[in-house]
Amino acid sequence: MRRKFGALSVGVLAVALVASGCSETTNEPSGNSDQQNRVQTGTISTDPAESQGPAKAVEGAAKGGVVKLLHEAEFAHLDPQKVYVSDALSITTQFARTLTGYKEDGKGNLKLVGDLATNAGEDVNGDCKVWKYTLKDGLKFEDGTPITGADVVYGISRSFDPDWGDGPTYLQKWLTGSAEYNTTYKGPFKSAGAEVPGLKAEGNVVTFTFPSAQCETPYAVAMPTSAPVPKAKDTKGDYDRKPVSSGPYMIKEHAYDQFIEFVRNPNWDANTDPIRNGYPDGIRVEFGITAETGANRVVADAAEDQTAFIWANVPAAVKSKTNEPAVKARVQAGPSQYVEYTWINTERVTDLKVRQALNYIVDRDSIVKLRGGVDQIGTTITSPTIAGYQAFNSYDGGPTGNIDKAKELLGNKPIKLTYAYPNVPVRQQMAAATKETYAKAGVELVLTPLDPATYYESVGTRGNQYDLIRGGWGADWPSAATVIPELLDGRTLREKGNQNLAYFNSDEVNKEIDRIKGLKATESAAEWAKLDKLIMDKYAPLIPQYYIGNYEIHGSKIGGTFLSDSYGHMTLNTMFVKP
C-alpha cells in the first residue's frame, strides 16, 4: 500500500530514470546494486485522434474469462474523489473515467490524451488560467444515464468537503488560489446550491478558471478527482462501497474486507475509450490474502490461480521460487517513483537533534533485504526518477546506520516513541526489525499497528498520537513540484486528510516553495533538488529509507499486462485471459 501514485514519466520533456533494476520488458529483478539508466518519454497529445476510441488492440488478446486479484487488505477508498493510494488508483481506472488519462505501451512511452474529454484540454487564452474540456458524445453511466459536464463538476465539488479526508487537492487549491480551499465553499453537502469556485459546466463543456496560471492542469485532471458522479446516486459515505461506474466494469457485489466482484458495464462504449480494452468478462478481488500466500499461490499456478495476479512485491521468502525460467517469465519487475519514508511528527518530536539521531540509526540495508532486495537504498526526499534529482545523504551512517553517532546526538539518554504502521505481515516484520535496531541506540519504539483500510485517515488527522509514521510517496507527474510542496508545505496543514505527515511548517521552506514554483520548468528542477537537501540538512522532518522497486507476478493464463508507469502496478487496461 503506497500513498499517492501518479505518472512518473509523463511530461513534455523526457525524464531520465536512474533507478535500480531493468525495464519491464526484461523481466529482470530490480536489485539494490544492479543499477541501470532508463530513459522514458511522455507527451501531452495535441492530436484529437489520439483521444478517440477504441484502444489499440493487444496482439493475441481475446475477450472472455475472469482475472483475479489476490490482495492483502480492503482498498482504503473506492470513492474516486477520495482515492489516493496506488492499489485503489489502479483498480479505479476500470470504473471511473477521468477528463484525461494515459496511453501506455509498457516500454516507457506514454501519451496524455482525452479520456472523457475530446482532447487533453484547451488553454483558452494561452496563459494557462482558463482551461476548457468538451466531453465526448455517447458517454453513459452504468445505468444508461448520459454523463454530462454537470456530473464532472459535481464530482469535483465533493472533494471540497472539509470532512472528506483523503484525496488529491491540486484542483481545489488552484481553483480557489488558497491552501485553505474550503474556507467558504465546503462542497455540495455543506454548501448546497452554491457554485464551485472557478468551475462551470455548460452542457458537455467543463471550464476551469484559475486566479493564477496552472499549466499542468491536463495532468491534474487525469487524477480521479475529475471522475463524474451522478448527484442522484450519491450515497455520500456509502459511495465508497459501490461507486457508480463510467468505465468498462461495475461492481456487482462488494462484501467488505472479503471480496469485490466486478462485471462488465453494459453501457461502456469502447468506441469512446482510447485507453482501456476491457478484455476480461470480470475482475474478482479477494481480500485477506497476504503477499506471501498470494505469491506462493501464483508461483504454484494451480488451475484456479492461473488467471490470478498480485499487486504486491513478491516477498523475500518466495522470491527464490521465481528464478525458474517458466515462473520468471510471469514476473513484471522495474523501478517506480515511490520513496519510502519514516515520517517524524515534528509537532511531537520537536528536538532537531533527536530527529537527526533517528536518521543516523536507520538500517536501510536490512529493510531492503527484508523486502526481497528489489529496492534501492534511498537518502533523499525525491526519487531518482524526478527531473533534476541530485544524490546526497545528510546523515550518512552507511547502509546499516551509525548507532554511536545517534547516541551522541541523544546525549546517551533513552527516549520512547510511538511508531504507526499498517497492520499487514510485511509491515509487521519491518516494524519489528526497526524496533530492534532503534533499541541499540536507546530508543524504545512503542509499535502501533493500524487498520490498513483506514491507515491514512488515522495518521493524516492532525493531533494524532504517533511520533513516527510509516509512509510512501510518488510524484503525480515528473516534477518535484508534486512532491516537496505536497509533503512539506506547512500552509497546507488542516484538521484531517493531511499529506504532510511530518506536520512540518517552516517559513523559510514555504517561501522557497513559492519562489521555485514561479520559475520555468527548465530552471526549477535544480532548485527543487537544492531545497530537498536544505530541508534534510536543516530540519530532518522525515527519514528517507529506500526507493521502491516493483516485482509483481501473474498466473500463466494472463497476458497483455505490464507495470504501469502511471500507476505502478500491473495494468488492467490491456490485461486479457489466454485461452
Band (pLDDT 50/70/90 cuts) for residue 26 is very low
% the chain with pLDDT above 90: 78
Q: What is the mean pLDDT of residues 500-504?
A: 98
- DSSP H or E segment with residue 281: none
The pLDDT of residue 165 is 66
Give me 531's grid cell.
531545497
Report whether 549 contacts 30 (CB < 8 A): yes
Higher pLDDT, 534 or 111: 534
Q: How far apart are CA 274 and CA 139, in angstroms?
A: 13
- What number is the average pLDDT over the span 529-557? 97
Phi first, then psi: what are they for 250, rounded to 5°? -135, 160
Task: Note whether 165 and 79 are within 8 A (CB).
Answer: no
Dump pLDDT digits (tens) for 183-224: 999 999 999 999 999 999 999 999 999 999 888 899 899 999
Average pLDDT, the chain: 90
pLDDT single digits (tens) 138-155: 999 999 999 999 999 999
Q: Is the pLDDT of residue 19 over 70?
A: no
Of the listed ranges 127-131, 451-455, 521-525, the least confidently predicted one is 521-525
**Cross-sheet strand order for the sheet of 130-134:** 122-123, 130-134, 205-209, 199-202
Task: Return the pLDDT at 171.
Answer: 97
Mark 194-229 as b/e (b = at least 16 C-beta within 10 Å): eebbbbebeebebbbebeeebebbbbbbbbbbbbbb
Residue 211 pLDDT: 95
Confidence check: pLDDT of 363 > 70: yes
pLDDT range class, residue 42, cuts 50, 70, 90: low
Q: How many CA atoms lie less than 13 Å away from 361 in the CB half-sphere?
A: 27
Q: Band the pLDDT of 9: cuts 50, 70, 90.
A: very low
Radius of gyration of the chain (CA): 23
Per-residue cell: 539: 530540519
Residue 8 has pLDDT above 80, yes or no: no
- Are 574 and 277 in contact, with CB atoms under 8 Å apart? yes
What is the predicted pLDDT for the residue at 521? 66
Q: What percent of the chain has pLDDT over 70?
A: 92
pLDDT average, residue stretch 338-351: 97
Grid cell listed for 447: 509499535
Q: Which of 32-41, 156-165, 515-524 has the weakest average pLDDT? A: 32-41
List all residues 6 or more positions away from 114 whose beta carbon is below 8 Å from its beta carbon: 48, 51, 99, 100, 101, 120, 121, 133, 136, 274
Domains and CATH numbers, the chain: 56-283+565-577 (3.40.190.10), 334-549 (3.10.105.10)
- Please tell me the predicted confidence (pLDDT) of residue 476: 85
**Strand runs (DSSP E) across 383-476, as ranges?**
415-422, 443-450, 468-473
Q: What pLDDT does residue 497 have?
A: 86
Tens digit of each residue's pLDDT (9 = 90 or more) over 377-430:
999 999 987 878 999 999 999 999 999 999 999 999 999 999 999 998 889 999
Are 201 and 152 spatial neighbours (Cβ–Cβ below 8 Å)? yes
